[in-house]
Structure 1
Amino acid sequence: MCWAHVPTSAQIRAFTATQHHTPLTYTEVGWTRDGRAPSRYALDHHLAVLGSGEACFRRAADALRHWGMFRTDWITLCTPDRPFAVGETLVLHVRHLGFHSVIANRVVYAIEEPARMVFGYGTLTGHAEQSEERFQVVMDDAGTVSFELLAFPGPRHPLARLGTRTMRVLQRQAAAAYSGAMQRAVTDWAGAPGFR
């Protein structure tokens, strides 16, 4: 959904209610888990180092678990209470190019390991794109903690097809915003139970 004005809470709630049982807009579900993209899509990859050590990893994993990457100036999670679990629908309010979009994605996998926290979500029918994105926090053998975004984006709506170049710029800006939010989450984390 797209508006020229800030959507009201009622409009966001109504949109969210329509998205809980809508299908994914693509068939290659789960491909980003293995770092792959179908041949008909581009593969976007963005990596940011957050710090090092076990404490940094715990802070970053806690931020990811509580959707900390969506705390940006122009992308806001409208459903912050959703648990970190497969099947959850996440609704985002995106301010871009003078417009306000509300889009929905469904979590298609979520993995928690001692040195890795990751989830992938895919676009639903209310989205202008057909895409899957993987958000990952990992600590390597040297103790370096990184945040990684991997996606295969593709236009679905005719306007998205017309503006493919603009969409790619917005996707790169979103990746940078997500990384910045994760960096702030790790830096500002106070050690309280649960990142908030």
Structure 2
Amino acid sequence: MFLLRRPTPAAVQAFLHAQRRSGLTYPEVGGTRGGPLPAGYAHDRHRALLGHGADCYARARDALNSWQMFRTGWITLCTPDAAFREGETLVVQVAHLGFWSLIADRVVYTVDEERVCAFGYGTLDGHAEQGEERFTVRFAPGGEVWFELLAFSRPRHPLARLGGPVVRALQRRAARSYTAAMRRAVNG
């Protein structure tokens, strides 16, 4: 949903209510869980070192579980109390290019293991793109703690199709912003 001004809390709640009833917009649900990413989409992979050791991993895991990657300054999670679980609908507000967007995604899986914590979420009807993104923190055998993003997407809304290069630039900016937010959350 594209808006000329910042959405009101009432508009955000109405959007969230509608998106909770909407369906995913792509057939390859769970496609970021493992194996090759589906054909016909742009693929994105980003990986950044957050630090070292079990304490760093615990902070990174807590940050992921509490959606800290969305604290970027231009991307704001409108559903910060959402539970870290499959089926949860998340709404983010994005300020970009002189206008605002509300974007909805649904958590399609979570992983919470001893050395890996992750979630994948997929696009809903109110999203200009279609596809899925996975956010992961990983405690490597050598003690490194990594933040990883993996995504596949393609334009769905006509404006996203027309602005393909701009959309791809915004996606790269979002990946950098998510990484910076995780670094702040983990390292202070």
TM-score normalized by the length of structure 2: 0.98
State the 4+ residue runs in structure 1 displaced beyond 2 angstroms: none
For structure 2, the residue ranges without an aligned partner over 5 or more in a row are: none
| Aligned residue in 2 for 1:44 | 44
* 3-state SS of paired residue (1:34): coil
Match status 1:134 vs 2:117: no
Q: Aligned partners of 1:131 and 1:151: how far apart in 2?
A: 7
| 1:174 partner letter | A
| 2:181 partner letter | A
Aligned length, in residue pairs: 188
How far off its partner does 1:36 sit?
A: 2.9
* 3-state SS of paired residue (2:10): helix
Q: Deviations over 1:1-32 (max 9, x none)?
A: 11111111111111111000200000000010
How far off its partner does 1:35 sit?
A: 5.1
| Aligned residue in 1 for 2:99 | 99
Would you say the 8 A contact 1:108–1:122 is kept in 2? yes
TM-score normalized by the length of structure 1: 0.95
* 3-state SS of paired residue (1:79): coil
| 1:44 partner letter | D
How far off its partner does 1:153 sit?
A: 1.2
| Aligned residue in 1 for 2:60 | 60
| Aligned residue in 1 for 2:125 | 125
For structure 1, the residue ranges without an aligned partner over 5 or more in a row are: 189-196
* 3-state SS of paired residue (1:102): strand
Would you say the 8 A contact 1:32–1:150 is kept in 2? yes
Q: Aligned partners of 1:173 and 1:27: how far apart in 2?
A: 26
* 3-state SS of paired residue (2:136): strand
| Aligned residue in 2 for 1:80 | 80
